[in-house]
Copies of this chain bind each other. A is one copy, B any other.
Amino acid sequence: MNASDLTNNAKSLLQSIREGNTHILARSISLIENEAPAYSKILEALEGDYPSSIIGITGPPGSGKSTLVDGLVGQWVQQDKKVAVLCVDPSSPFHLGALLGDRIRMSEWYNHPQVFIRSLATRGSLGGLHPKIIEITDLLKAAEFDFIIVETVGVGQSEVEISGLADTTVVVLVPEAGDEIQTMKAGLMEIADIFVVNKCDRPDADRFIKHLQTIFDFNITGEQQEPIIVKTVASERKGLQELAEKILQHRKNINEEQKIVMLAEKAHRLIIQKRVQDIRKNELINKIRKAMLEPGFNIYEFIKRNF
Contacts and interface: CB of A to CB of B under 8 A. Distances in A.
Interface of A: 40, 43-48, 60-62, 90, 92-99, 126-127, 135, 138, 153, 155-157, 159-160, 179, 182-184, 186-187, 189-191, 215, 218-221, 223-224, 260-261, 263-264, 266-268, 270-272, 274-276, 279, 281, 284-285, 288-289, 292, 296-304, 307
B155 A160 contact: no
30 contacts: A43-B300, A44-B298, A44-B301, A44-B304, A45-B298, A46-B300, A48-B297, A62-B183, A92-B186, A94-B215, A96-B218, A98-B179, A126-B191, A127-B157, A153-B183, A156-B160, A157-B157, A157-B160, A260-B285, A260-B288, A260-B289, A263-B299, A264-B281, A267-B302, A267-B303, A271-B279, A271-B303, A271-B307, A272-B276, A274-B307
A186 B155 contact: yes
Nearest to A285: B264
Nearest to A284: B264
Q: For chain A, what secondary structure do more than half of its interface residues adopt (helix, strand, loop), or is it mixed?
A: helix
Contacts of A44: 298, 300-301, 304
Contact of A155 (B99, B183, B266, B288): B183
A220 B303 contact: no
A90 B186 contact: yes
A81 to B, nearest CB: 25
A105 B296 CA distance: 37
Contacts of A219: 93-94, 96
A117 to B, nearest CB: 23
A187 B155 contact: yes
Nearest to A261: B285
A153 to B, nearest CB: 8
A186 B125 CA distance: 12
